[in-house]
Amino acid sequence: MTRSHRRQLAALMLAAVVPLAGCGTPGGSVSGSASGKLQVVAAENFWGSIAAQLGGARVTVSSVIADPNSDPHSYEPTASDGVAFARSQIAIVNGIGYDPWASQLVAANQSSGRLVLDVGGLLGLKAGDNPHQWYSPSSVLRVIDQIVVDYKRLDPTDGPYFEDRRKAFERTGLAEYDRLRSEIRARYAGVPVGYSESVFRPLGESLGLKLMTPYSFAKAIAEGTDVSAQDKQTVDRQAETRAIRVWVYNSQNATPDVQRVNQLAREAHIPIATITETLAPASVTFEQWQSAQLRRLLSALHQATGR
């Protein structure tokens, strides 16, 4: 973070300190807004989508990062973002070094009545670990459980409603997502694939794919740092020699290094599957977005293997 960025963030945090009267308190009834709904702010829309579906008519959820063109790593918050966090009864941040601006806004506006769900903290992860846990099916389930726990804590009267929403989301909402993952794992476990950045790694591991790309390459691309010459040579060679059967890349972050491998994969007739870091388009739900990506991956694996 640059010095000017730090000064801007400090000013925003001071501007965002607003009266928090009327917020619900843990174990009490919800009274966070005139509508009587729980007020939830998510730093990113992948967690916000899940929170909204679990909350239904009893919750209002807003997401700060909702534009597919925004980079959560380098996002510069606005004054309205600070106000939204200050007025929230539940704040959901990714943590793990991914969105430090969000945690700073929360810390600048302390409230005894606000619950903060830090995904990294929930999962026992720290800065330096892979922050892209919305691509980990097991992590997603843990976050779902915690969101419902937090809803019931702030609004115990509607506890049965939130529990019903959770069951419906897991059994129906995630049904296609679960089916596609099971199919890929059953048909293509062990198939060697390359991937442009660490966002894909949790999903690729859960699918049983053989991830060939050096993690240091994928991590550097995700964090915007320099890729080593050795990693470049390794990834290029994997494409040129068809050591990978499919190449997966984040279309929201097509750096020159990624574009070079994209071209090598095309020249080697290696099927390419695209993913994105945040919901794309922003209007879809978490499960619609993930299922669409899994279908693209399934098609690429079928094209590569003939099965």
Instruction: Quote the pTM value.
Output: 0.89
* CA count, 13 A, side-chain hemisphere, 35: 8
Closest to 91 measured CA to CA, from 102, 80, 99: 102
Can you tell me which residue has the tokens 């973002």? Answer: 81
| Residue that is written with structure tokens 């879809």 in the block | 284
In this prediction, residue 1 carries a pLDDT of 46
Domains of the chain by residue range:
3-165, 184-305
Indicate the DSSP class of residue 127. Answer: B
Cα dist. 51→35, 92, 166 in Å? Answer: 18, 9, 10
Average pLDDT over residues 56-75: 90
Coil, helix or strand at residue 214: coil
Are the C-beta atoms of residues 1 and 100 closer than 8 Å to each other? Answer: yes
Q: What is residue 33's predicted lDDT score, i.e. its pLDDT?
A: 53
pLDDT bracket for residue 71 (50, 70, 90): confident
Q: Specify the CATH architecture of the domain 3-165.
A: 3-Layer(aba) Sandwich (3.40)
Domains 3-165 and 184-305 share a fold: yes
Instruction: Indicate whether 157 pLDDT > 50.
Output: yes
pLDDT (mean) for 68-82: 87
With contact defined as beta carbons under 8 Å apart, do 103 and 95 qualify? Answer: yes
pLDDT, tens digit, 9 for 90 and up, residues 246-263:
999 999 999 999 999 999
Q: SS3 of 302, please?
A: helix
Q: How far apart are CA 228 and CA 35, in angstroms?
A: 54
pLDDT at 127 over 70: yes
pLDDT of residue 6: 46
Encoded tokens for 188: 């293509």
| pLDDT at residue 68, as a whole number | 84
In this structure, is the dihedral angle defined by the CA atoms of residues 172, 176, 182 and 186, taken in order, positive or negative?
positive
pLDDT level of residue 73 (50, 70, 90 thresholds)? confident
Q: End-to-end distance of the chain based on CA atoms, in angstroms?
A: 47
CATH topology for the 184-305 domain:
Rossmann fold (3.40.50)
Lookup result for tokens 């969105």: 99
**Average pLDDT of the chain?**
90
Q: What percent of the chain has pLDDT over 70?
A: 89
The β-bridge relationship of strands 210-211 and 192-195 is: parallel
For the segment 95-121, what is each residue's pLDDT rounded down to a tens digit?
999 999 999 999 988 888 899 999 999
